[in-house]
Amino acid sequence: MGRIVGFTALRAVGATRAVHGIELLAPTDIDVTPGQAVVLRGPNGAGKSTLLHLLAGAARPTSGQVLLDDVGVDERSPRVRQVLATLLSPIAGYHELTLQDHLVLVDQTWGGARDTCADRVNAMLSRLDIELLRHRFLHEMSSGQRQLADIAMTLIRPSGVLLLDEPEQRLDTERRALLAQVLMEAKRAGAALLVACHDETVTEAIADDVVTLAPVTA
């Protein structure tokens, strides 16, 4: 897990999202503080991914507000990017770079010290039990391996909040348990977690609070 970036609170206040008059997210309030894990649940189409996109500043709420330390969230803001590490969709990555290359690239562009970069990369590969994948190109991995690679790229950078959309997807039972452990370690280190998750075991292991989104009716 990368260095923890300090923040006070990430909040959604009455946030809604509608596109072309179609409601994607009913008014929602949510509040996450350092060291807290909130799991989002709800049926398909309830707006979990939409809410995560709003909290990441990748989309704007149609009404209501999304605030990081009382300032509106916009992904283009350097402060927002520093605090929020997101895994909302598969990472496109670079076709000609291996997983290890990607981890070095992410670590270095986020300001990691050069002399200890290899240690952080090795530790991340080891923690997620994907050392065998270090010299594979992303397109050479199975879907489950790819999910672990994406998680590694998300966790290695410094952050204060982890916004993860169904990180347990495509992982086998053993890897889901490993994921839960890794997320618990991040939480103990002081990171906040906001995770959309359908897996009972992972939810039980990490959640301080479970928010269930009701299906959008309109």
Partner 1 sequence: MSDGTDERERLYTLRALAYGGHSPVERMSFPLYVVALFAGIYGVTVAQGVLALVAADSTRRDAFAAWSPPAVGVLAVAALLAAYAFGRVRGPVVPDLSLVDLAVPTDIQRAAVLQPWWRAVVLTTVLAGGIVGAVAGAGLAIQDLGPPVSPVIGGGIGAGYGWLLVHVWLRGQVLGAEDAPEVRDVLHTEDALCQLRRATIRSQAALDRAVTAALYAGDAAHLRREASLGRPRARQRRLRPAGASWVLLRADLLILRRAPYAAATGLALVAVATPVVVWALGQEGVLLALGVGLVVLNAGAGALMRGLRSCADQVASPSLLGMPIARCALLHTTVGLVPIVVAWTASAVWMGGGVAPGTTALVGILLTVIGSQVLGAFRGSPPTSMILGPESGGVLALWLILPHLVPLCVGLTAGGVASQGAQPAGILLLLGVAGLVLGLWRLRVNTAPQR
Residues that bind partner 1 (CB under 8 A): 53, 56-60, 74-76, 78, 81-82, 84, 86, 88-89, 91-98, 100-101, 104-112, 114-115, 117-118, 135, 137, 153, 157
Residue whose CB is less far from partner 1, 47 or 57: 57
Residue whose CB is less far from partner 1, 36 or 100: 100
Q: How far is the CB of 12 from partner 1 (least distance, A)?
A: 15
Q: At what angle do helices 173-188 and 143-155 cross, to 10 degrees?
A: 10
Residue 21 burial class via C-beta count within 10 angstroms: exposed 0-12, middle 13-18, buried 19 and up: exposed
Residue 169 burial class via C-beta count within 10 angstroms: exposed 0-12, middle 13-18, buried 19 and up: middle
Q: How far is the CB of 60 from partner 1 (least distance, A)?
A: 5
Residue whose CB is less far from partner 1, 165 or 180: 165
Residue whose CB is less far from partner 1, 106 or 183: 106
Single out the residue of 11, 37, 44 nearest to residue 204, CA to CA.
Answer: 37
- Show the tokens assigned to 40: 């989002």
Q: How far is the CB of 201 from partner 1 (least distance, A)?
A: 27
Q: Are strands 71-72 and 63-68 parallel, antiparallel or unpaired?
A: antiparallel
